[in-house]
Structure 1
Amino acid sequence: MGDESLRPRLCTIKKWSDFPGYGFNLHAERGRAGQYIGKVDDDSPAQAAGMKEGDRIVEVEGVNIGNENHAQVVTRIKAAGESVTMLLVDSETDNHFKSEKIVVSSDMSEVLRLETPPRPGTEEEKGAHIIYSLTTDFMLYYAI
């Protein structure tokens, strides 16, 4: 693969004991296929793991979520607990692989693997914090 910027990212987001949740919103729009990352909180585990606003989620915990609805993806992320691994593509990478008719998966050699680093000076705690933020008729957002 010639362009190093066109790499899917396998992000493992690990919760920090001093931060509520993972620090991102899950976003879906009526009429637009897929589940996307909405806002990524500054100084959050999600940001530290390389997650970016607008990324499309391809897999959660190794399972392709292309045919799952918003609620199913939220449930899958919640079930992961203190750490969740998601395969993400930005729009340019997504368009590239679609134009080449290549199905993106976490076992591809070009996947960039990223992980939330430990937060210095804190202890890891058990327990999930899922915050439901906004539901509208056209868009669904979940802060996770």
Structure 2
Amino acid sequence: MGDENSFAPRLCTIRKWPDFGGYGFNLHAERGRAGQYIGKVDDDSPAQAAGMKEGDRIVEVNGTNIGNENHSQVVTRIKAAGDVVTMLLMDSETDSYFKERKVVVSSDMPEVVRMETPPRSGQEEEEVRI
């Protein structure tokens, strides 16, 4: 375990790439365990490039806290985002750190690290072509 500065929620902006199907991650929920989690993250995917990691707990989707939403509601929220979705994520150590201190985590906290999928080379030009 590191010092308290090492516990930082990540605000990941995941941008789909034209040559990759989807964002590149699975949503995971377990019976008896509250919350929605990131399952497998595909190698060389937009999700991986944005800093998403397997086991991360999802706190927010596009600025909305999803703590009281079920699996299908969160899936719907992510799909409704289109080609870009922003998710506030915490790994298990960061999650435990804030839970122990009874801190409600949100994307406007100063500790939040912002990460995003870089565009593929030539992506801007491809989006303009008709």
Other-structure match for 1:7 = 8
| Alpha-carbon distance in 2 for matches of 1:38, 1:66 | 17
Contact 1:11–1:114 (CA<8 Å) still a contact in 2? yes
| Alpha-carbon distance in 2 for matches of 1:67, 1:115 | 26
Q: Does 1:62 align with 2:63?
A: yes
Cα offset, 1:120, TM superposition: 1.3
Partner SS for 1:4: helix
5+ residue gaps, structure 2: none
After TM superposition, the score normalised by the length of structure 1 is: 0.83
5+ residue gaps, structure 1: 126-144
Other-structure match for 2:116 = 115
Higher strand content, 1 or 2: 1
Contact 1:16–1:124 (CA<8 Å) still a contact in 2? no
Q: Give the aligned residue type for 1:101.
A: K
After TM superposition, the score normalised by the length of structure 2 is: 0.92
How many correspondences in the alignment? Answer: 124
Other-structure match for 2:97 = 96
Q: Does 1:46 align with 2:26?
A: no
Higher helix content, 1 or 2: 2
Other-structure match for 2:81 = 80
Cα offset, 1:124, TM superposition: 3.9
Q: Give the aligned residue type for 1:35.
A: Q
* Cα shift readout 1:15-42 (whole Å, capped 9, x = no counterpart): 0000000000000011110000000000
Identity %: 80
**Cα root mean square deviation, aligned:** 1.2
* Cα shift readout 1:32-90 (whole Å, capped 9, x = no counterpart): 10000000000000000000000000000000000000000000000000000000000
